[in-house]
Amino acid sequence: MGDFTLDLNDDQRSVRDWIHGFAADVMRPAAAEWDEREETPWPIIQEAAKIGLYSLDFYAQQFFDPTGLGIPMTMEELFWGDAGIALSIVGTGLAAVGVLANGTEEQIGTWVPQMYGDADDVKVAAFCSSEPDAGSDVGAMRTRAVFDEATGEWVLNGTKTWATNGGIANVHVVVAVVDPELGTRGHASFIVPPGTPGLSQGQKFKKHGIRASHTAEVVLEDVRIPGDCLLGGKDKLDERLARARERAATGGTGGGRNAAMATFEASRPAVGAMAVGTARAAYEYALEYATGREQFGRPIIDNQGVAFQLADMRTQIDAARLLVWRASWMATAGKPFTSAEGSMSKLFASETAKKVTAQAVQILGGNGFTREYPVERMHRDSAIYTIFEGTSEIQRLVIARTLSGVPIR
């Protein structure tokens, strides 16, 4: 019987330490500046590209780590550095996962490299799913994709919102409705190549947190794209739609999987790891502060009220990491999420980040409430984890439905 271990191997530790060094030496010193500027930190992304941290090869290596821990380990260290800058570095990955989850080998080989560019000319990509009236309720999606038989092109019309890198991306991955009568089973994903006429950036959002990450609307007005920009190809889509129509006609619920959900299923443990990174950063800062800050002639950590908070913070962070690692290992090992383990990891880690960063602000007192100290920014950043890629409420719904087998609403 093989030995059970939660220790990282030598290669993983080496990669972790390398990423940690970049986060500490490059990201953290720039974090406050780019948070205030609310702009994409192109120079930091370029620095990451120069050392190979922002590249298809690096993320492919981590994605194919046989233990499943490569991606969560990477996310935790980057988001320990700074959530806004980290999201600017890894935001392209969601679009890449969208292609990996739904595309053909040829499409993956053609489009994913164009999402990153190279060290001399870095690019970013955007995954566009949410709409003004369709966030968690993907069934309310209105963006349409219609196939033009005469030209062999797809024509896209609609407005996407909350798109990371939306409008500034080199490549956009857009989820659209191809058959409204089939609900969520009538969706498909499309590549919009660079410079395609009709795609434009709408409103850029001024956000509470993760302000170094660009978030905007993407407007699609008669956007024409080649037929081979449908991820997975038209033959596969037609087969899937035919199965869905047949099942719907016989009282079934449709067939196949939803294009957007396939992407989110693959990314939820990674989002949990992001939350763990932010929570850990806040905890470590609060611990150091509590050790050095004196009141009434002694360090404030000598007070049980402070020490117990730190004990709880560390316990919750470690528990969150273990849930993330379990889900990541299960996904790599091909084990189904029979108890919604992916959603569990995202839910618990996200809620932990919000709680831990709030406790860090409290431990720092008035200092924690100012921008002179990083826990204020970490607390603002942490709010996003319980919202994007499935709110905490949606995660609870997924978990409850999975456990009960009942279509809870």
Q: Where in the sequence numbering do the catalytic residues fall?
A: 389
CA 93 centroid distance within chain: 8
d(CA 351, CA 27): 24
- Which 8-state DSSP code applies to residue 135? S
> Rounded to an integer, what distance in angstroms lies between the CA atom of residue 207 and that of residue 161?
13
CA angle 104, 259, 257 (to 5 degrees): 100
> What does the DSSP 8-state code read for residue 23?
I
Helix (H) or strand (E) holding 162: strand 153-164
Residue with tokens 């009282």: 251
Q: Is the CB of residue 243 less than 8 Å from the CB of residue 188?
A: no
Give CA 277 to chain center in angstroms: 13
Residue 122, φ and ψ in degrees, nearest 5: -70, 145
Residue with tokens 């991306």: 169
Give the span between the Cα atoms of 193 and 368, in whole angstroms: 45
Residue with tokens 């030995």: 3
Structure tokens belonging to residue 141:
């999606």
Indicate the helix (H) or strand (E) that contains 221: strand 215-226
SS3 71: helix
Return the structure tokens found at 240. 């899937």
- According to DSSP, the residues that pair with 199 across neighbouring strands are 220
Element (H, E) at 96: helix 92-102
Sign of CA dihedral 322, 27, 92, 41: positive
What is the three-class DSSP state of 206?
A: coil
Structure-token pair, residue 195: 């410079």
Mapping DSSP to helix (H, G, I), strand (E, B) and coil, where does residue 130 land? coil
